[in-house]
Amino acid sequence: MGKLATYAEKNYILSDSLTKTALLNFICVLVGAGVRFIFRHAEELRPDMQDMNFALVGMVIAVVRVMLTAVIFLLANRRIKAVIANEGFADPDKLKEEMNPAGSTLLTAYSTRKMLQVWGVIMVAANLLQEFCSRMYQNVIDQLQHYYIGESMVTNEAVSVYNSTHGFKYIGMITALIIGFFVTGVFLNDRKLMIFSAVMMVAFAIAFGMLQMFTLRFADRSIGIVWTGVIYHLNNSFVLYLFSHYIRRKHHC
């Protein structure tokens, strides 16, 4: 029984990595939101990304997040390599039999390592892409506002442009996450994960094409909520956290 417990513990490498990444993403979102809330002027309508101080804070947060995410998956990859090397298994079939003696999961250690690499690339690339797209989107909004309304930054037209185009900032990143959920469902032969991927794709499309920005008043401050951003950040933190626990409990990986 001791040997089986050891194997079971090692089988949680993938879900552990995703849990840590989800918590890291959530903390970074909270830090960024806290900075915006504390230093934003009460009646300021201009998007936060057009404030250079906020942009600098966001860049620092992004660099820290990318570095820590890379460390999480590099260490996880080292762990799974050690499992394979230290136990001295020679072929994948034998490895599957030993790592999963009760057939508790569909993933062999080799497949787990591949999934770690897939998710590592997705999470690091998503964070890098988020920062790059934010900077490019900021430039586009600046140019549009300057072209249509000159130097005046705060108008209803400016807010409308920001709302109607904001989803473009998140398309690449939400696509990467959806692909990650779907590929994991394929590896685990889990139809629920495949269906969930399709649902998230439809939800993002509806938010992008139909929902308008919601303005919330809190502590004498106006807070603009863009639904495409809400969907992305939820998927990158809360949903990812639930996903990691789902595959841990159901698939023991």
**Range with the lowest mean pLDDT among 89-103, 116-130, 197-211, 219-233?**
89-103
Please write the tens of the pLDDT for every residue from 134-180.
777 777 777 766 666 555 545 556 666 666 677 788 888 888 999 99
Give the H/E segment covering residue 214.
Answer: strand 214-218
pLDDT tens-digit map of 73-85: 999 988 888 777 7
Give me 233's structure tokens. 């950040």
Band of residue 97 on the pLDDT scale cut at 50, 70, 90: very low
Q: Considering only 15-29, 83-97, 198-212, which range has the smallest mean pLDDT?
A: 83-97
| Cα 65 to Cα 126: distance, rounded to the nearest angstrom | 11
Three-state secondary structure call for residue 221? strand
Alpha-carbon Rg of the chain, whole angstroms? Answer: 21
pLDDT at 73: 94
Q: Exposed/middle/buried for 70, CB within 10 Å: 0-12, 13-18, 19+? A: middle
Query: By three-state DSSP, how is residue 18 classified?
Result: helix
- Sequence-separated (6 or more) residues with CB below 8 Å from residue 157: 148, 149
pLDDT at 69: 94
Using alpha carbons, select from 174, 168, 183, 156 the residue that is nearest to residue 235: 174
pLDDT over 80 (residue 19) = yes
Sequence ranges of the domains in the chain: 2-251
CB contact at 8 A, 79 and 31:
no
- pTM of the predicted model, to two decimals? 0.78
